[in-house]
Structure 1
Amino acid sequence: MFIYYGIALLIVALDQWTKWLVMKNMELGERIILADPYLAWLSHRNRGAAWGMLEGQMWLFAIITIAVIIGILYYFHAQAKGKPLFQLSLMVILGGAIGNFIDRMLRGEVVDFIAVLIPIINYEFPIFNVADAALTVGVVLMIIFIIYDEKQEKKKVS
């Protein structure tokens, strides 16, 4: 069980360290090309949720994040025992949620810095950070777990 908490802690540490590096070494709006034109570091701040929605609603984000953290911890301890993929998905989501929560509470904004261009459709994906990536990966892992778990339940019934 502690290994899973370690994964969440590692995500929070990596998230906060990368954000600190961006704030320390880049000017706001500065872009460093990594793979032109597909990938760059871009120092950006977000005062809202995903894609800047609900800008300035820190009290709402605090309440929602605390509720999410409580829910994750409940499911981790009450429902996920013996289900490693479910445990992993919950802790990856927890790490991402805490990473952005720290930004909102300490800075009043989230530091974003990864800029991606999807060339096939020429789409500039919204700028994100390690916590955002962890949230996305955690949700994908959870979807995989749910699909797998449902198939296992159907096999038991059959």
Structure 2
Amino acid sequence: MTFVTCDLCDENADSVSVVTGHNWFSYGGRSAFGGEVVTVKCFEDNSRVKEHLATDGKGKVLVVDGGGSLRNALIGDMIAENAVKNGWEGVIIYGACRDVDELAKLDIGVVTLGCVPIKSVRRDEGQLNIDITFGGVTFHPGEYVYADNNGIITSRHALL
């Protein structure tokens, strides 16, 4: 998938929203990715992230509201490897990741607020496919998200 979010914004100015207010870092092997939004809301517990990335993700991006926490990583190399095997386009986490050198080798987009070496706690908590909000944007399951080194945008309709 080749695109530039700047161009998508120029071509679709009336139908995109831009995630703002945060510095995002790209850690995955794909610098640009996009697809249908699937959501998880959790806090320092990646049980639902791991569970969801173990399902078919062809054409989809998992968007995770991790509450902005940088205390525990919500994805690492093993979960990301599983996501690649299941066809996920990428993961956007309002929180942290780990194993960044390994993530960079994988054919998946991973965008987070930062990294931390501490793994997630597991309490089997979290909510799937609910509306989540961060960066001034509400992510609705079934809509679309696109990310590259310029930023993250959303749209109600597929842009590519």
Where is the strand percentage greater, Structure 1 or Structure 2? 2
With normalisation by structure 1, the TM-score equals 0.24
Tell which has more relative contact order, 1 or 2 (C-alpha 8 A, sep 6+): 2
Larger gyration radius, structure 1 or structure 2: 1
